[in-house]
Amino acid sequence: MAHPRPPAFGTGPAAIVAISAILLLMAASGSEPDFNALRERMVERQIEARGVEDPRVLAAMRKVPRHRFVPEDLQASAYHDGPLPIGKGQTISQPYIVASMTELLDPRPGDRILEVGTGSGYQAAVLSELVRQVHSIEIVPELAERSRALLQKLGYDNVEVITGDGWKGLPEHAPFDGIVVTAAPVEIPAPLLEQLAVGARLVIPVGNADQIMRVVERNEDGLSERDLYPVRFVPLVREPGK
Ligand code: SAH
């Protein structure tokens, strides 16, 4: 048999095994992976290749050091094409999903954005590069504390992490120029719709077992919505007793 063609870099098992082996070898030899090169490749092959076009979003994805937002033992996998565990049963979203949700939000430099589901803080950091102020709510106190400290350490001064239930939004800072929710409710929480400014968008995965990425926009004459692509997020939970 002729030599099989080497696998193209992709998401197939062979590619993942090959990349993991290279990263393991690098780790064993004590040298750190070239995170900048891995990040550039992530943007080209996972994000641009799938149609994300907004130059500001692409620049933010090129800039934010995703490996700093994953557990240390998973840093070598930070630029893989998938979600990763971040502890407490939660995950950091796949890079493409972060880029796509950010693009769908259509962020402008002067905007004030609400994120529900801080998790690792990565999506908040990406938004922080693009807008004036990010308010991000996380219901698991340990995750909120960790992300708050990390974002501060990395210099993301325009992100405020709030510990609490994002179901209610953040009425004291509403209305927002955009809201992004990174955990899935079965139905959109009414307070989030109420806290959208005119012209603002809510980007939110909705559903139970089958979830869909939905964009709701508030216009002068009401709300319009469109459904985009199937997704799988952790559930948006409610504070016990609420
Ligand atoms: N945006 C995150 C992805 C986080 S996963 C990132 O970039 O890493 C979703 C997060 O939503 C989890 O951390 C989970 O604890 C949180 N979450 C779930 N329900 C919530 C709620 N009602 N309010 C706030 N955060 C919630």
Give pLDDT tens digits for 157-204: 999 999 999 999 999 999 999 999 999 999 999 999 999 999 999 999
Instruction: Give percent of the chain with pLDDT exceeding 70.
Output: 86
120 C-alpha to center of ligand 1: Å?
9
Task: For residues 174 and 211, give the distance between their C-alpha atoms in angstroms, rounded to a whole number.
Answer: 27
Ligand 1 centroid from CA 144, angstroms: 9
Smallest CA separation from ligand 1 atom 17, residue: 117
3-state secondary structure of 185: coil
Predicted pLDDT at 20:
63
Residue-level pLDDT at 162? 98
The pLDDT of residue 240 is above 70: no
Distance CA 236, CA 242 (A): 13
What pLDDT, on the 0 to 100 scale, is given for residue 1?
A: 40
Ligand 1 binding site (Cβ under 6 Å of any ligand atom): 90-93, 116-117, 119-120, 122-123, 137-140, 143, 165-167, 182-183, 234, 236-237
Q: Across residues 7-25, what is the average pLDDT?
A: 55
The pLDDT confidence band at residue 238, using thresholds 50, 70 and 90, is confident
In a domain, 126, yes or no: yes
Residue type at 181 in one-letter notation: V
Q: Which residue range is the domain that position 170 belongs to?
A: 13-231
Ligand 1 probe mutation, 150, 206, 237, 242, most atoms within 8 A of CB: 237
Separation CA 122–CA 175 (nearest Å): 23
DSSP-derived letter for residue 31 is: P
Residue type, 218: R
pLDDT at 141 over 70: yes
Is 203 inside any structural domain? yes
The verdict on residue 178 lying in a domain is: yes
**Spacing, Cα 160 to ligand 1 middle (Å):** 15
CATH of the domain at 160: 3.40.50.150
Alpha carbon separation from 217 to 16, 126, 180 (Å, rounded): 38, 21, 12
Domain count, the chain: 1
Q: Is residue 236 part of a domain?
A: no
Q: What is the pLDDT of residues 84-99, one digit of tens each?
A: 999 999 999 999 999 9
Residue 51 lies in a domain: yes
Q: Which of 93, 120, 128, 147 is an active site residue? A: 93
pLDDT for 24 equals 59
Is residue 219 assigned to a domain? yes
20 catalytic per annotation: no
With respect to residue 215, please indicate whether it lies within any of the assigned structural domains: yes
Which percentage of the chain shows pLDDT scores above 90? 85
Report the separation in Å between the CA atom of 102 and the middle of ligand 1, taken as the mean of its atom positions: 16
